[in-house]
Amino acid sequence: MEGPYSARFPSSPAGEKSRRAPVFRGTAEERTRSRSARPAKARTMDRTTDHEFHHRPVMAQQIVEAFAPVPAGWIIDATLGGAGHSTLLLEQLPQISVLGIDQDPDARGAAAARLAPFGDRARIAAARFDAIAEVVAANLPAEARVVGVLFDLGVSSPQLDRAERGFSYRLDAPLDMRMDPSQSLSAAIVANEYEERQLTRILRAYGDERYAGRIARAMIAARPITSTARLAEVVRDAIPAPARRQGGHPAKRTFQAIRIEVNAELEVLPVALRAAIALLAADGRLAVLSYHSGEDRIVKQVLREASTGGCTCPAGLPCGCGAIPTLELLRRGGLTPSDEERLANPRSESARLRIARRAETTP
């Protein structure tokens, strides 16, 4: 089944769009809107199979255990990546099928190859995950039951490790950082066209960068900044020498902040989480893996809101405001990876897994 949002197991080589976006000269607000909230009508063709797509799924066993109790139906993997989690779910839970979503054509190509052996139990859609409701409507029959939704947020290892994607401060390449190469906003535009005030705000809000103002001023003075190596150098030089030696690579927080801005990562997350909760059948499970405090704060807030139904009654008193909780939180505080996993897979280090169950609600 293929709808406007689907790109299911492509069998032909891709005519992928150019990675370089045309320079976009609107206001910041217009640029934000120019990021496609939904995929284009025309189907995005994926690349052919990529056997070099290596991403180790984080907290894999805990994810399988989280979904093990669900009834028969569909799990939506909202961040399919190379299908590491989806493959394990399909192998270990015979009652489920998977509809995977990813906005990155490289990820979808790799996932298509891995999921092909599961035949009709696996489908893939090209979309941004805040369009999850439309993706489900376009790809699953109306009677299909959504029994699980998984979000494994952020970037995959290949996105970071492939220099040409322009995400990494360790590998020199043109500044890019778009998960969806067809969108217009890229890291080059953020670095070269944002005003000082905007740059300072995103470095502070999305990177927790203490030297946000200094870095923003240095970036503006160094324009044009066209490569990852040049941006890393400008950031390093903007930070006072003693601070450069603390907390990892000096450009780490700036790169994270620009990546989050380019991909609208924190803007779309609450929208997507609320839509996912609404899609879930009773007793279905929601599992969310986040990797930094900005993400986790949003996850926690949306889950808390759903688990109280927005109840405003004083604590300790029975609810009299008519709020209807739609989620039951299965573990307060969330789960973190074992020491063994942290050692074996440094990218799991900051992971936090929150799991919730869809409550029975009467309309």
Ligand X SMILES: C[S@@+](CC[C@H](N)C(=O)[O-])C[C@H]1O[C@@H](n2cnc3c(N)ncnc32)[C@H](O)[C@@H]1O
b/e map 7-18, b = 16+ CB within 10 Å: bbbbeeebeeee
Residue with smaller CB distance to ligand X, 57 or 250: 57
Question: Which residues are CB-contacts of 45 (< 8 A; sequence separation ≥ 6)?
Answer: 7, 10, 12, 14, 15, 16, 105
Neighbours of 243 (CB within 10 A): 11
> With binding defined as CB under 6 A, does residue 139 bind ligand X?
no
Quick one: which of 44, 73, 104, 168 contacts ligand X (CB under 6 A)?
104
Quick one: which of 8, 128, 253, 292 contacts ligand X (CB under 6 A)?
128
83 φψ region: left (φ > 0), alpha (ψ -120 to 50), beta (else): left
Residue with smaller CB distance to ligand X, 80 or 234: 80
> With binding defined as CB under 6 A, does residue 102 bind ligand X?
yes
> With binding defined as CB under 6 A, does residue 85 bind ligand X?
yes
As a whole number of angstroms, the distance between CA 119 and CA 211 comes to 51
* Residues paired with residue 6 on neighbouring β-strands, in sequence order: 125
> With binding defined as CB under 6 A, does residue 84 bind ligand X?
yes
> With binding defined as CB under 6 A, does residue 337 bind ligand X?
no
> With binding defined as CB under 6 A, does residue 83 bind ligand X?
yes
> With binding defined as CB under 6 A, does residue 186 bind ligand X?
no
CB of 179 to ligand X, least distance (A): 4
Residue with smaller CB distance to ligand X, 132 or 306: 132
Question: CA 94 from chain center: how many Å?
Answer: 26
> With binding defined as CB under 6 A, does residue 261 bind ligand X?
no
At 107, is the secondary structure helix, strand, or coil? helix
b/e map 213-240, b = 16+ CB within 10 Å: bbbbebbbebeebebbbebbbbbbebbe
> With binding defined as CB under 6 A, does residue 129 bind ligand X?
yes
Contact 181, 19 (CB under 8 A): yes
Quick one: which of 97, 156, 168, 345 contacts ligand X (CB under 6 A)?
156
Quick one: which of 39, 81, 207, 250 contacts ligand X (CB under 6 A)?
81
As a whole number of angstroms, the distance between CA 249 and CA 206 comes to 16
> With binding defined as CB under 6 A, does residue 179 bind ligand X?
yes
Could you say which residues in the range 38-57 bind ligand X, by CB under 6 A? Answer: 55, 57
> With binding defined as CB under 6 A, does residue 284 bind ligand X?
no
CB of 194 to ligand X, least distance (A): 21
Binding residues vs ligand X (CB under 6 A): 55, 57, 79, 81-85, 101-104, 107, 128-129, 152, 154, 156, 179, 268
